[in-house]
Structure 1
Amino acid sequence: MTFEYELSVPTTASPADVWALWSDIGSWHAWDPAVERVAMEGHFAEGAAGTMSLVGGIEAPFVLEIVEPGARFLDRLTIGDLVIRIDHQVSATDGGAEVLVRTTVEGPGADDIGPMVTGDTPRALEALTGMAEKSS
């Protein structure tokens, strides 16, 4: 079973300002309401792994599967039999950037769990772009 979700939002921030927040795992809790804390071994690069502590006491191991500095990263979380991939992309536009987040949930119950996983995405992107705009 697979669930897919995608959301794209414009911002007046530059791609570099968005990337600065994405690549700083210590800031994730400040803009993503589902995240309490993130710990990662090594640098923000492909293959780096860590643990994400989510609201509700959920601990999820994650791996950065793709990292294209300044443009894109894809992280994979594993929670029991579920695999959650979140693809984050930012691209320049006239006067700012376009931020795209694409989430795929695979495994038993994905259609039921997916909406819960992605429910905070609009608020997370609003907070992320707001913080990025303030720093630009």
Structure 2
Amino acid sequence: MSFEYEHTVTTTASPEDVWALWSDVGSWHCWDPAVERVALEGHFAEGAAGTLCLAGGVEAPFMLEIVEPHARYLDRLTIGDLVIRIDHQVTATDGGAQVLVRTTVEGDGAADIGPMVTGDTPKALEALIGLAEQQS
């Protein structure tokens, strides 16, 4: 089973301002209500792994599968038999940037878990761009 979700927002912040928040895993809890804390082993680069503590105390190992500085990163979380991939993309626009987040959940129960995983995505993206716009 699988579940897919996508959400896009625009901002007056630059891709670099958005990237600064994305690549600072210590700040994820400031803009993503689903995240309590993140521990990353090493630098924000492909293959780096760590632990994500979600709201409610659920801990999940994650890995950065793709990192394209100032443009894109894809992380993979594993929770039991579920694999959750979240693809984050930022592209420059006239006067700012477009931010896209695409989430794919695979495994038994994906159709049930997917909406819970993505429920806070619009709120998280609004908080992200709010912080990015303050930095710009």
State the TM-score bracket (shorter-chain normalisation).
over 0.9
CA shift at 1:43, angstroms? 0.1
**Which SS does the other structure have where 1:47 is aligned?**
coil
Alignment of 1:62-73 (within 5 A): 62-73=62-73
**Which SS does the other structure have where 1:19 is aligned?**
helix
- What RMSD over aligned residues (CA atoms) do the two structures have, in Å? 0.2
**Structure 1 residues not aligned, in runs of 5+:** none
What is the number of residues matched between the two proteins? 136
Aligned to 1:90: 90
Using the size of structure 2 for normalisation, the TM-score is: 1.00
Q: Distance in 1 between matches of 2:57 and 2:24?
A: 22
Aligned to 2:103: 103
Q: Distance in 1 between matches of 2:78 and 2:100?
A: 22
**Per-residue CA shift, 1:50-100, capped at 9, x if unaligned?**
000000110000000000000000000000000000000000000100000
Using the size of structure 1 for normalisation, the TM-score is: 1.00
The 4+ residue runs of structure 1 with deviation greater than 2 A are none
Alignment of 1:6-85 (within 5 A): 6-85=6-85
Identity of aligned residues (%): 82
Q: Distance in 1 between matches of 2:24 and 2:57?
A: 22
**Per-residue CA shift, 1:84-127, capped at 9, x if unaligned?**
00000000000100000000000000000000000000000000
CA shift at 1:7, angstroms? 0.3
**Structure 2 residues not aligned, in runs of 5+:** none
CA shift at 1:6, angstroms? 0.2
